[in-house]
Structure 1
């Protein structure tokens, strides 16, 4: 069956899990695996483990409850050990690394920001700024059969889109980073050119939210800012 691992904490964490259940149907009972310095919150692993919404919610629910009372190393969904003894052995083997990481993230939260820009707005800007793109665009409109010009236009526009999105993303991270202790930039999504996480102290969380709001106001309606958090600090463990 295996042991499903939700999170690792320091041994002194209160582990207040009353009323919280684990993944599976029926929901698994939670238990702890302890070493001298660390604790892991675990349950039996379902035999048909898959990333169902119900189980994803339960997985994060356990972590959210633990985060309310102290530092937590959140494990990603789907981590299964052979049994409780193996989990304890790994915690003991990695004790120093886990303890150090828990100190780093103690009292800190993760917020994830995704930013998108209206495609038509970006293309209008590119067209305005580039005489070469305007020339190629006009040429292909007048001569639809000019395949070479059409290919050149597409390649040039694609390069400009990528360059401007990367530049804007870097600028946004630089403007918001002072509110955070650490940042972690992830791959863009299909719809968002910026996907970045911030590790912030609990005291600075409101300041980060305000900074994001002000940046969204400054950029205008062509931009969509989506800030999510607080989250388990996956991006920093």
Structure 2
């Protein structure tokens, strides 16, 4: 029987699974597979695992219930194992590493922070700050200017926006790092100039939230800082 695996816990965890719906839609179908001091929370895997809202919500509900009762190693959506024996083998082989990680994550939570910069706002700032950009923008307005001028303007805008994004990201990171134990950074994307996860002591979660709110308030128009948390520490498990 192929198993869907949600998380790894200590065997001393309350493992309160009643009333939860599994990925695949079956209520109260969750159970545990244990090996000495560790347990994995599992259910029978559906024939096809797709990223559908009901299944993603079920996955997260299990994670949040488990985390509310004690430390876990939460797995991302979609982890499966061949059968109970395969799960026990993984627990046995990784016992020392899993135990260490569980201790490191005890009483800690995760915050996700994303930064969005509106393109129009970035352009306005570049026009205000750079005389070269202003002159080239004026020269090429309404399709005017030479090919070289249009090419130069594009290069200046690209470099300028990249520099803006890097500076914004560093300012937000500098404001939040003093309140975090660890961080995981993702590469900037077209959508986000910053995408970071922070591991924070549970007792310091309120301070981190306030620091994030202050960092957001200090940004100029067109910059948005989005914060999610506290969450189970998916990125650090």
TM-score interval, smaller chain: over 0.9
Question: Whole-Å Cα distance in 1 between the matches of residues 139 and 182 of structure 2?
Answer: 48
The structural deviation recorded for 1:175 is: 1.1
The structural deviation recorded for 1:142 is: 7.5
Deviations 1:54-80 (A, max 9, x none): 000001111100001111111111111
Question: Whole-Å Cα distance in 1 between the matches of residues 145 and 178 of structure 2?
Answer: 52
Deviations 1:22-54 (A, max 9, x none): 111344700100011210000100002111110
Counterpart residue number, 1:184: 184
Counterpart residue number, 2:193: 193
Following superposition of structure 1 onto structure 2, how do residues 197-236 of structure 1 map, counting pairs within 5 Å?
197-236=197-236
The structural deviation recorded for 1:189 is: 4.2
Following superposition of structure 1 onto structure 2, how do residues 81-160 of structure 1 map, counting pairs within 5 Å?
81-141=81-141, 144=144, 146-160=146-160
Question: Whole-Å Cα distance in 1 between the matches of residues 53 and 101 of structure 2?
Answer: 29
Give the structure-1-normalised TM-score: 0.94
**RMSD of aligned alpha carbons:** 1.6
Structure 1: unaligned runs, 5 residues or longer: none
Question: Whole-Å Cα distance in 1 between the matches of residues 141 and 220 of structure 2?
Answer: 31
Contact 2:2 2:82 in 1 (8 A): yes
Structure 2: unaligned runs, 5 residues or longer: none
Contact 2:20 2:61 in 1 (8 A): yes
Give the structure-2-normalised TM-score: 0.94
Contact 2:19 2:28 in 1 (8 A): no
Q: Does 1:48 align with 2:44?
A: no
Contact 2:139 2:145 in 1 (8 A): no
The structural deviation recorded for 1:143 is: 6.5
Deviations 1:142-161 (A, max 9, x none): 86251221112112101110
How many pairs were matched up? Answer: 237
Quick check: 123-132 or 161-170, which moved more?
123-132
Question: Whole-Å Cα distance in 1 between the matches of residues 155 and 229 of structure 2?
Answer: 37
Contact 1:28 1:44 in 2 (8 A): no
